[in-house]
Amino acid sequence: MTVSNYDNLLADVPTDLYIGGSWRPASDGARMDVIDPATEETIASVASASVDDAMAALDAAEGAAVEWGARKPRERGEILRKAFELIMAESERFARLITVENGKALPDSRGEVAYAAEFFRWYAEEAVRGIGEISMAPSSGARIVVQHKPAGIGVLVTPWNFPAAMATRKIGPALAAGCPVVLKPASETPLTALALAPIFEEAGVPPGIVNILPSRRSGAVVGSMLSDLRVRVISFTGSTEVGRKLLHAAADNIVRPVMELGGNAPFIVFEDADVDAAVEGAMVAKMRNMGEACTAANRFYVHESVHEAFATKFAERMKGLALGHGLDDGVAVGPLVNAETRDKVVSLVSDAVGKGARVLTGGAAVDGKGFFYPATVLTGVTDDAQLLRDEIFGPVAAIQTFRDEAEIIARANATEYGLVAYVYTGDLSRGMRVSEKLDFGMVGLNRGLVSDPAAPFGGMKQSGIGREGAHEGIMEFLETQYVSVTW
Ligand code: NAD
């Protein structure tokens, strides 16, 4: 695959900052390179926003806020609906763009585009459900009128693993609620976010309501916005480490945080599970995005009586996944996003193998250009292996066995993370009993995929604060106001 194979794809993608409805370079002219992780070649140079640019974006957002917040909810809903349709009409272009900057294989990117667009359809529908309530104060007899107002300007910071969906999951509810936003996409994958700007324009989003600022100076740019009193919401998806920093920064001005952070998902297969269905679910829970997902199954716990059957079938399926440039036909596993991510996978696997794990398939990085790592299955992983504690963020499944229900619930919960857990069992009452005891914000019960725009996505413990998607997602961008009235 050479760059010329996708020249046309990149020709129309904007590469400047999108502020107040127009395109401009960074105030100091700074730019940053975007690379294709499959070839390590530079494919674009994008403006890298400065603190002055961030202030210009806040000025634009402030200037547009009142008019947008006062629009009838139906109007905002129709604009989001149009944006959904426009993305779907160009879904193949978006999918290819995601693949060239993130690396994931085209089928994965297609899935992401559909998921991303769906947030606009869902929030087009939520925009018109701004339900308040009226009740009578029990003692005074006054009426309690409760209504919701746009919270104000939102700063949105997104990771590289879902360049489209993590942006739309935040922009959709913010716009539906009547809030303007400044989006800072991940430096590795700014092109997909920038390519959304013309969609917003065509859909009728007014200038200043969505501003897009890629920047290599993330700390300074986001920090400057968090110290500006005009910002009311910080919605962040990324690592727990950066989330913690942003929570500290948000504390000064009491900015509302929505934090979607890291995970360490257990995948539990009970002895009464349908093993084939569990393998199918494991393929999705582990391999969606090549394991570069906060929802990726990180620790496989398989009952000792079905371990042999599960591990053999799972390893066979993993072995069959073709590695290559994500745009090429038949490829299921593209490169990891950068050298750092690939090197972390290499070191976690070598640590586990050094401590006694057995490699059923994969287990070594691929030489040559591109950050490739093959689908890998490890069994006999020992309790002291680092990959049971760290997010692997790569296509590596680490399997351990267990005997007893209470024991496995305790082991699954023994992590500071609490995003998602997966449970496979043929007994639904056991499934519900175990799900309720798992300290995770989401549970996939006989399912390897939980992400859905209509469901509240989010974690417990150090996996985050707040929820995205569903009705909860729009509430993060709304303030509740109550009027006490006598009539
Ligand atoms: P990251 O935390 O390194 O970066 C996320 C974003 O924050 C990027 O835009 C980055 O440029 C920006 N950033 C980095 N340092 C910053 C700073 N000091 N101040 C402000 N912004 C800063 O995460 P990543 O490597 O891009 O993504 C991987 C992580 O994201 C994983 O931990 C994964 O679990 C998590 N994630 C969570 C969810 C979820 O919904 N819970 C979804 C996807 C990814």
Where residue 179 sits, what CATH number does that domain have? Answer: 3.40.605.10
Q: Are residues 152 and 288 in the same domain?
A: no
Q: Is 291 left (phi over 0), alpha (psi -120 to 50) or beta?
A: left
Q: Are residues 92 and 68 in the same domain?
A: yes
Q: Classify each residue of 179-209 as buried b or exposed e, where b means 16 or more C-beta atoms within 10 Å of its C-beta.
A: bbbbbbbbbbbbbbbbbbbebbbebebbbbb
How would residue 487 be classed by pLDDT, with cut points 50, 70 and 90? confident
Quick check: CB of 394 below 6 Å from ligand 1?
Answer: no
- Give whole-number Cα distances, 321 to 290, 361, 369, 378, 420, in Å: 11, 11, 19, 16, 25
The answer to whether residue 5 scores a pLDDT higher than 80 is no
- Asked if 52 and 169 count as a contact pair (C-beta separation under 8 A), the reply is no
Quick check: CB of 237 below 6 Å from ligand 1?
Answer: yes
- Asked if 93 and 63 count as a contact pair (C-beta separation under 8 A), the reply is no
Q: Ligand 1 atom 19: the closest Cα is on which residue?
A: 219
Residue range 136-186, pLDDT digits in tens: 999 999 999 999 999 999 999 999 999 999 999 999 999 999 999 999 999
CATH number for the domain harbouring residue 361? 3.40.309.10
The answer to whether residue 359 scores a pLDDT higher than 70 is yes
Q: Are residues 49 and 176 in the same domain?
A: yes
The answer to whether residue 339 scores a pLDDT higher than 90 is yes
Q: Are residues 336 and 471 in the same domain?
A: no
Q: Are residues 359 and 243 in the same domain?
A: no
- pTM of the full structure: 0.97
Q: Radius of gyration (Cα) for the chain, nearest Å?
A: 23
Q: How far is the CA of 157 from the centre of ligand 1 (A)?
A: 8
Can you tell me the mean pLDDT for 284-297? Answer: 97
36 in a structural domain: yes
Q: What is the pLDDT of residue 188?
A: 98
458 in a structural domain: no
Name the active-site residue from 101, 112, 188, 294.
Answer: 294
* Torsion sign across C-alpha atoms 245, 246, 251, 257: negative
Q: What is the pLDDT of residue 1?
A: 46
How would residue 6 be classed by pLDDT, with cut points 50, 70 and 90? confident
Q: Show Cβ contacts of residue 135 under 8 Å, excluding neighbours closer than 6 positions.
A: 143, 144, 146
Q: DSSP letter at 2?
A: -
Quick check: CB of 264 below 6 Å from ligand 1?
Answer: no
Q: Are residues 300 and 203 in the same domain?
A: no
Q: Are residues 380 and 309 in the same domain?
A: yes
- Asked if 193 and 167 count as a contact pair (C-beta separation under 8 A), the reply is yes
Q: How far apart (Å, rounded) are the C-alpha atoms in residues 303 and 182?
A: 47
Query: Considering the chain, what percentage of its residues have pLDDT values greater than 90?
Result: 97
Residue range 433-471, pLDDT digits in tens: 999 999 999 999 999 999 999 999 999 999 999 999 999
Quick check: CB of 219 below 6 Å from ligand 1?
Answer: yes
Residue 359: Cβ within 10 Å count: 17
* Backbone φ, ψ for residue 132 (5° rounding): -105, -160
Q: How far is the CA of 267 from the centre of ligand 1 (A)?
A: 23
How would residue 316 be classed by pLDDT, with cut points 50, 70 and 90? very high
373 in a structural domain: yes
Q: Tell me the residue range of the domain where 177 lies.
A: 3-261+463-484
Q: How far apart (Å, rounded) are the C-alpha atoms in residues 351 and 345?
A: 10
243 in a structural domain: yes
Quick check: CB of 143 below 6 Å from ligand 1?
Answer: no
141 in a structural domain: yes
Residue found by looking up tokens 């591990």 in the block = 311
The answer to whether residue 413 scores a pLDDT higher than 90 is yes
- Does residue 294 have an active-site annotation? yes
How would residue 85 be classed by pLDDT, with cut points 50, 70 and 90? very high
20: which 2 tokens? Answer: 């107040």
- Does residue 260 have an active-site annotation? yes
Quick check: CB of 187 below 6 Å from ligand 1?
Answer: yes
96 in a structural domain: yes
Residue range 35-77, pLDDT digits in tens: 999 999 999 999 999 999 999 999 999 999 999 999 999 999 9
- Three-class SS state of 105: coil
Q: Ligand 1 atom 30: the closest Cα is on which residue?
A: 238
Q: Which of 77, 82, 81, 108 is nearest to 94 (CA)?
A: 108
Q: What is the pLDDT of residue 2?
A: 46
Q: Are residues 279 and 378 in the same domain?
A: yes
Query: Considering the chain, what percentage of its residues have pLDDT values greater than 70?
Result: 99
32 in a structural domain: yes
Q: What is the pLDDT of residue 88?
A: 98
Q: How far apart (Å, rounded) are the C-alpha atoms in residues 445 and 431?
A: 7
Name the active-site residue from 112, 260, 391, 476.
Answer: 260
Q: Are residues 296 and 434 in the same domain?
A: yes
What is the DSSP code string of 170-229? Answer: HHHHHHHHT--EEEE--TT-HHHHHHHHHHHHHHTPPTTSEEE---S-HHHHHHHHHTST
- Asked if 298 and 392 count as a contact pair (C-beta separation under 8 A), the reply is yes
Q: Are residues 112 and 239 in the same domain?
A: yes
Q: How far is the CA of 124 from the centre of ligand 1 (A)?
A: 27
457 in a structural domain: no
Q: How far is the CA of 239 from the centre of ligand 1 (A)?
A: 4
Q: How far is the CA of 221 from the centre of ligand 1 (A)?
A: 15
Q: Give the mean pLDDT of the chain.
A: 97
Q: Are residues 282 and 388 in the same domain?
A: yes
Q: Are residues 239 and 274 in the same domain?
A: no
Structural domain total, the chain? 2
Q: Which of 457, 428, 429 is nearest to 442 (CA)?
A: 457
